[in-house]
Amino acid sequence: MSIMKYLEKDVPECYYKMAMLMGSVDYYMFYESWAGKPTEQDVRKHELDELPFGREIADGLNLLVKQVYIDGIGGDEAADVKERIFALRDRIKKLALDLVTYSDAITLYEYIINRNRPADVQEPKNFNDDAAARDVLTAIFSSGENVVINENIKLAVSQLPIRMSKARFFDLLRNSLEKYTGTDSSSFDRELYMIRTAAGLEALHADVYPVFNDCFDCLRNLDLDNLDPEAAKDAHDRLEEAVSVIMDLNELYRAAVSVLNKLGIAAICRKYIDPECFKENEIVRVLANEAVEGISSDVSSDITEEALASLRKLEGLFEPLTERIQRLQARAVKDKGQDVDDEIVEMCRDFDICERLISNSAYADLTDPESHALESSEVAEACDELEEVFRELLSEEAKVMGRARMAAALAQLPVFFDSRTEVMNYVRDSLGSCRDAYEKSVAVKLIVDTAGGTDKK
């Protein structure tokens, strides 16, 4: 089979079929998850109309699902439909990125407030720092895999009071970032972004998410170094509600983009295929119809017999499709070195986008970012700017917030300990820096539980 034949026929038909089948199931699951009021069994806490952009996203998605899965894309409509699909995807992706700044800022405040003992909770008696440090160390090294151990060490650093001077902190930041000299600039930009967001250095977009303004106005006015129990409880309650909104939004965005990715593949491949090649249209229409009507009326009903029968017909279809796509992708990689004309280049570009859309990364970039080999002067300038922002904040705000920012930034860096003994000493010294036994117990329990160790007795 020539490269032209399998690119013209096999690849687009396979992607199109996968997108139609998986997308209709994804949207049916979206409907089941988001139509109507949340029940006690639901993970979500809010209705669509209670979430920022919730109804806008659901209605926009509904229109696209109706056009692609129910009405069908006419050959002359494909370009317009594709443009609308990716415009909504880009909008949601931007909203998700803006939400990250709030999520990371809340994590910093949680770090501080959750370590303040509530008035009705007794301080732990006879807390043993050495025993607690051993429990933390056991949890960190409970896995034999270096990758997991390193992540556990980063977790411990992020949750314990930072135990180093500012000079040492800035040296670690700079040394870590200087290793990117001569490498791809896009990788460096990602690392820099992760440090900045984790440390809460990115600006909050109050105009995008005014729903959080009252919460953050309250948090900014707290005396974090001398937080009384009543103020801490009020802040904790506000944080809890903000977190529930963020969790629901994150799930809404992820679920919507998952559907949009499949819609995008269908729209891309439409110009390459004969719609008659797809024999499962009725299955797709049944599921999409029920979901579209449910989202439009905002009513969640029990699954109908017709929808249940359609889902049963899909059993066993996905695995062969996935395997076939993988085989075609492997062949395309081998054929990339061949001399091909512009038409095939365009096809390969489209199918590369399809491959990214069907990957496990819902928000995958559809094109590679512009990049270049980093000069040492560029890295030095970025490090200087980062240090300047940190120094300004550390000089102006509560000490406990400064420590929280530093700990969050360090957790994004490669592990900087050279031995198990150094980890143990850091944990023991950090526990000694806690205000009281309650703060120690909170930090130790979180590390031990998350890292997979046994609960501290």
Cα four-point dihedral sign 20, 23, 27, 33: positive
Query: What's the rounded Cα separation, in Å, for the pair 36 and 49?
Result: 10
Predicted model pTM: 0.88
Mean pLDDT taken over the chain: 89
pLDDT of res. 455: 40
Q: Are 208 and 95 in contact (CB under 8 A)?
A: yes
- Residue that the structure tokens 């103020």 belong to: 231
Q: Are 167 and 438 in contact (CB under 8 A)?
A: no
pLDDT of res. 302: 86
Query: What's the rounded Cα separation, in Å, for the pair 353 and 339?
Result: 21
pLDDT band with cut points at 50, 70 and 90 for residue 1: very low
Residue 121 pLDDT greater than 60, yes or no: yes
pLDDT per residue over 399-427, tens digit each?
A: 999 999 999 999 999 888 889 999 999 99
pLDDT band with cut points at 50, 70 and 90 for residue 6: low
Residue 454 pLDDT greater than 50, yes or no: no
Query: What's the rounded Cα separation, in Å, for the pair 1 and 378?
Result: 49
pLDDT per residue over 439-453, tens digit each?
A: 899 999 999 999 864
Mean pLDDT for 319-334 is 76
pLDDT per residue over 131-155, tens digit each?
A: 999 999 999 998 878 899 999 999 9
Residue 320 pLDDT greater than 90, yes or no: no
Q: Estimate to the nearest angstrom the gap between the alpha carbon of 263 and the chain centroid.
A: 21
- Tokens representing 90 are 């880009």
pLDDT band with cut points at 50, 70 and 90 for residue 341: low
Dihedral pair phi/psi, residue 372, rounded to 5°: -155, 170
What is the 8-class DSSP label of residue 162? P
The fraction of the chain above a pLDDT of 90, given in percent, is 65
- Please, what is the Cα angle at 107 between 33 and 224, to 5 degrees? 140
Query: What's the rounded Cα separation, in Å, for the pair 403 and 199?
Result: 10
- Please, what is the Cα angle at 39 between 33 and 42, to 5 degrees? 50
Q: Are 227 and 110 in contact (CB under 8 A)?
A: no
Amino acid identity for residue 447 in this structure: I
Counting every residue, how long is the chain?
457
Query: What's the rounded Cα separation, in Å, for the pair 457 and 444?
Result: 11
Mean pLDDT for 63-83 is 90
pLDDT of res. 42: 86
Q: Are 366 and 357 in contact (CB under 8 A)?
A: yes
Query: What's the rounded Cα separation, in Å, for the pair 200 and 203?
Result: 8
Mean pLDDT for 368-382 is 93
pLDDT of res. 107: 93
pLDDT per residue over 192-211, tens digit each?
A: 999 999 999 998 988 999 99
pLDDT per residue over 153-182, tens digit each?
A: 999 998 888 878 899 999 999 999 999 999
Mean pLDDT for 74-101 is 93
Instruction: Compute the 3-state secondary structure of the chain and give helix, strand, coil in percent, each to the nearest 5.
Output: 70, 0, 30
Query: What's the rounded Cα separation, in Å, for the pair 184 and 371?
Result: 6
pLDDT band with cut points at 50, 70 and 90 for residue 119: confident
pLDDT per residue over 230-283, tens digit each?
A: 899 999 999 999 999 999 999 999 999 999 999 999 999 998 888 777 778 888
Q: How many CB atoms lie within 10 A of CB 12?
A: 24
Tally the C-alpha atoms within 13 A of residue 54's C-alpha that lie toward its C-beta. Answer: 26
Torsion of Cα atoms, 378 then 382 then 388 then 394, to 10°: -150
Determine whether 427 is exposed, middle or buried from the number of CB atoms within 10 Å of its CB (0-12, 13-18, 19+): buried
pLDDT of res. 205: 87
**Max avg pLDDT among 247-261, 291-305, 360-374:** 247-261
Q: What 3-state DSSP class applies to 373? A: strand
pLDDT of res. 7: 67
DSSP E strands in 100-235: the ranges are: none
